[in-house]
Amino acid sequence: MGIHVGDQISLGGFRDRPNEDRMGLSMGHAWVIDGATGLGEPFMGTGSDAAWLAQRAHEAFTRHATVADPLVLLAHAADDLVAAFEQERSRPLKEPWELPCGAFMLASLGEAGLTITWSGDCRALVQQSDGPVLSFGATPVSEEAEAALVARLGRGGDPARRYAQPEALAELRAGRGLALAPGNAFILAPDRGFLKHLRQATIATKQARLLMMTDGFAAAELRYGLFAGPEAMMQAANSEGLARMGEQLRRFEHETDPDGVLKPRWKRCDDATAIWLQISA
């Protein structure tokens, strides 16, 4: 009864920095969280603002998982994030883009069925019995838009950190600043404004398979085409397992296209996290 883990994986993208993804399961809720790579000097004094955000959000989701309604859970988590930020930040905020931020995908099993709530570019695949695979979150279109931006600004830079080139960094900071307007944040952040921009869908079922992932793992399908669509991605998770899928992902990034020529991207490889779940009433 409830949500049960069938498989899980979390691969760090860099040797010299912490994994900035988190995942969890508690009391009828499951989630993945992806901290957004910092665009300047660390603000929280932890070495990684993205890891700080992901960890504090994970702790807040766990703390409030006794709340059945995902929107109420997230409202409590937002309060916790704001309080933690005010207590732990190392200096005053100078620019909106400095605010720690990220993406998340939250699955909640309730009376109405399975509810998926998200912010940003994580991805979820849901399959009921042998029916079609439903997808939520990041899409091929959103990934193509990012690839086009990298192709325009990131060519020729260090393929491990193209986002750090001056022109790219300036544009990324400007875009993140807009997404983190004080009081109206569009993505997960220590700002209650993100609650106004949540996306949500409910599937009227209590029997399903669910694959949730950060964009670094979803890249295997959406960016690199290693899996031909959501159905193939779900089938691979069911039959091959996430570890083997992770090996395919890293092989492409490190051996097939290490310089990001075939598939333009900001980093050679990103943190990649996925959790495969069985939903049963």
Whole-number pLDDT of residue 6:
94
Question: Which mean pLDDT values do the consecutive 10-residue runs of the chain (281 residues) have?
Answer: 91 88 97 96 86 98 98 98 96 94 97 95 93 93 88 79 90 96 97 98 92 97 96 96 98 95 92 96 70
Which pLDDT value is given to residue 269?
Answer: 94
pLDDT of residue 131: 85
Q: What pLDDT was estimated at residue 14?
A: 80
What does 42-64 look like in DSSP terms, one character per residue? Answer: -SSSSS-HHHHHHHHHHHHHHHT
**Spatial separation of the C-alpha atoms in residues 255 and 232, rounded to whole Å:** 22
- What integer pLDDT is reported at residue 1 of this predicted model? 60
Residue indicated by tokens 């809720």: 29
pLDDT of residue 42: 87
Give the CATH number, domain containing residue 6.
3.60.40.10
Position 146 scores a pLDDT of: 87
The boundaries of the domain holding residue 56 are: 2-280
Report the pLDDT value the prediction gives residue 155, as an integer from 0 to 100.
72
For the chain, percent of residues with pLDDT exceeding 70: 99
- Buried (b) or exposed (e) across 241-268, using 16+ Cβ within 10 A? ebeebbebbbebbeeebeebeebbbbbb
Going by C-alpha positions, the residue among 188, 187, 256 that lies closest to residue 220 is 256
Cα–Cα dist 90/88, whole Å: 6
Number of domains in the chain: 1
| pTM of the entire predicted model | 0.96
